[in-house]
Structure 1
Amino acid sequence: MFNWNDLIYFLELARQGRLMPVARRLKVDHTTVSRRISELEKDLSLKLFDRKTDGFVLTEAGHRLFSMAERIEQEAAGIEETIQMTPIGAKGHVRVASMEGIGAFYLAERFAELAEKEPGLMVELVTERYLINLTKREADISISFVPPQGSRLSVRRIGSFRLALYASADYVRRFGMPLSRAELPAHSFVDYVEDLIAIQSAHWLLDVLEPQKVVFRSTSMHAQQNAVAGGAGIGLLPLFSAKTNPSLIPVLADEVVVMRDIYVSVHEDMEFMGRFKAVLRHLTEVVQRDAAFLTEF
């Protein structure tokens, strides 16, 4: 008979593909992970992984076990919520993945509201410049500007936000305020690092123009906004972040309108569990409540 606890190591290795990330996530030594996988294979008399130079790949038997083990994992996670005789507040950890800009300038403050309503919840906000893989359980919930791809994902559009051109008073004093789109090519711009853009829709300046003169680039939207505020050039910024700095001046506000949708995603096995439902409900409510804040000056 195999050890049920070995399935935890199996699931993590199937999702991560390498020993060290699994060891960090489970807070054990990588040799422990390797040993538990070997013991599981021995107990089941099955080869679950092919060992490659770049990591571990599931065999056909491994894929079959993975499907069953995921169902066991979800059933186990829902036991406490299912058998409670009286309703209780949501509790537990929920990892939410998003991009750095919306995470820092918008979501973090809204999760502070959630902490007041649901003190039993602990949200982990993970920000990356690429889409986190929910299918591999790199996070529980994703907030993104494009609908993510993956098997058995529940994806919903919950709102949108507007971006606009901004400059600092110092920049306008030195170089003047553009009065039409035709004048924009003569100005300096702040933009993304082109070869490091992981999500093309995040390169939103291209919705307005392909700038001829870029004086500063960064993969961080926060850094871009600081550069614009410092007078480096004009930048296309989301209203939810630009509104945090009153020194930023809108440029061609009536003429340049760029919009992006907001999508929330969760694995189908998780969306009806208490703690995930609480976070999904809160995200939907605050984005809809803040519609004017996100889209109007």
Structure 2
Amino acid sequence: MFNWNDLIYFLELARQSRLMPAARRLKVDHTTVSRRIAELEKDLSVKLFDRKPDGFILTEQGHRLFAIAERIELETGEIQESICATPSAPTGRVRVVSMEGIGAFYLAERFAELAEKEPGIVVELATERHLINLTKREADISISFVPLSGQRLVMRKLGQFRLALYAAPNYIRRRGLPRTRDDLPAHTFVDYVGDLVAIQPVHWLFDVLEPANVSFLSTSMHAQQNAIAAGAGIGLLPLFSARSHPLLIPVLPDEVQVMRDVFVSVHEDLEFVSRVKVVLRHLTDIFKRDVDYLTKL
């Protein structure tokens, strides 16, 4: 008979693919993870992982066990909520993944609000340039600018945000302020590094023009904003980001209005887990509350 506790180590290694990240999540030594997996494989008389240069890859038997172990994990998490006469407040970690800009300039502050209301919940905010695989449980919740696709994902639109062109006073003193959209090609811009854009809707400047003159490019929206504020050129920024820098001046705000949708996705097995439900409800509430903040200059 195998040790049920070994399933915890199995699930985490399956999700992380490497010993060290799995060990950090479990707060144990990586040798402990390796030993527990070896014992589980011995007890079940099956090979659960192929050891590859890029990490631990589930075998066919491993995938079968993963589906079963996830169901066990979900049912175990619901015991206290369903059985106890007085369920306790939701507790635990919820990993939310998003793009860097919206994570740093909007979500981080709003999750601080959640921490005050729900001190038992710890949000892990991970920012990535690429789309995280929720099916592999690399995160619990995804916030993205494109709808995610994958097996057993629940996805819906959270809201929208607006982007506008901005420039710094010293740039405007040097180069002048564009009066019409036709003036834009003569100006200098700050933009994304085109061949490193992982999600095309993030390359939002192309909604306005493909600039001929670019002084600075970065994969980081934060870096772009700092460059624009320093006078490097004109750039297209979300309102939630530009509001953090009072010196930035809107350029052609009535003529240039770019909108992006925001989607939230969660694996269907996690949708009704209490701690995840709390975070999902908070996200819904803040996007509803902040409509004007996100879309109106």
Same fold (TM over 0.5): yes
Matched with 1:292 is: 292
Do residues 222 (structure 1) and 222 (structure 2) align? yes
* Percent of residue pairs identical: 73
The aligned residue for residue 161 of structure 1 is 161
Q: Could you list the per-position Cα deviations for residues 239-282 of structure 1 after superposition, in whole angstroms to 9, with x for gaps in the alignment?
A: 11111222111111111111110111111111112111111011
One-letter amino acid matched to 2:97: A
For residues 110-144 of structure 1, what are the alpha-carbon distances to aligned partners after superposition, in whole Å with 9 as ceiling and x for unaligned? 11221222222221211122222222222211111
Superposition TM-score, scaled by structure 2 size: 0.95
Tell me, yes or no, if structure 1 residue 42 matches structure 2 residue 16: no
User: What residue identity is the alignment partner of 2:60?
Assistant: E
Q: Per-residue CA shift, 1:201-235, capped at 9, x if unaligned?
A: 11111111111111111111111111111111000
Say if 1:191 and 1:216, in contact at 8 Å, map to a contact too.
yes
Q: Distance in 1 between matches of 2:22 and 2:87?
A: 34
Question: d(CA) in 2 for partners of 1:27 and 1:137?
Answer: 18
Q: Map of 1:187-266 to 2, 5 A cutoff?
A: 187-266=187-266
The aligned residue for residue 18 of structure 2 is: 18
Matched position secondary structure for 1:101: helix
Conservation of the 8 A alpha-carbon contact between 2:167 and 2:250: yes
Distance of 1:192 and 1:285 partners within structure 2: 31
Aligned to 2:6: 6
Write the mapping of 1:72-151 to structure 2, written as runs, cut at 5 A: 72-151=72-151
The answer on whether the counterparts of 1:190 and 1:216 sit within 8 Å (CA) in structure 2 is yes
When residues 53 and 128 of structure 1 are mapped into structure 2, their CA distance, relative to the original with a 3 A threshold, is: closer
The answer (yes or no) to whether the contact 1:81–1:273 under 8 Å persists in 2 is: no
TM-score (norm 1): 0.95
Deviation (angstroms), 1:20: 2.7
Cα deviation for residue 162 of structure 1 reads 0.4
Q: Which amino acid aligns with 2:272?
A: F
Structure 2 gaps, min length 5:
none
Report whether the alignment pairs 1:62 with 2:62: yes
SS in 2 for 1:246: coil
Whole-angstrom CA distance in 1 between matches of 2:238 and 2:69 = 42
User: Do 2:135 and 2:150's aligned partners in 1 also have CA atoms closer than 8 Å?
Assistant: yes
Q: Give the drift of 1:88.
A: 4.1
Alpha-carbon RMSD across the aligned residues, in angstroms, is: 1.5
Distance in 2 between the 1:204 and 1:77 partners?
41
SS of 1:225 mapped into structure 2: helix
- Paired residues, what number? 297
Q: Distance in 2 between matches of 1:39 and 1:215?
A: 57
Contact 2:192 2:217 in 1 (8 A): yes
- Residue 78 of structure 1 aligns to a residue in which SS? helix
Question: 2:80·2:87 contact (CA, 8 Å) conserved in 1?
Answer: no
Q: Could you say if the C-alpha distance between residues 39 and 266 of structure 1 is closer, same or farther in structure 2, counting changes exceeding 3 Å?
A: same
Aligned counterparts of 2:49 and 2:244: Cα–Cα separation in 1: 50
- Secondary structure (helix, strand or coil) at the match of 2:96 reads strand
- More displaced 10-residue stretch of structure 1: 11-20 or 223-232: 11-20
- 2:220 maps to a residue whose letter is S
Q: Quick one: which amino acid aligns to residue 214 of structure 1?
A: V
Structure 1 spans left out of the alignment, 5+ residues: none
8 Å CA contact 1:218, 1:224 repeated in 2: yes
- Over 3 Å off, 4+ runs: none
Distance 1:64 1:108 in 2: 37
Question: How far does the alpha carbon of each residue in 1:35-75 deviate from its partner, in whole angstroms, 9 at most, with x for none?
Answer: 21121111111122223333322222111111101101111
Deviation for aligned residue 1:87: 4.8
Residue type of the partner of 2:286? Answer: V
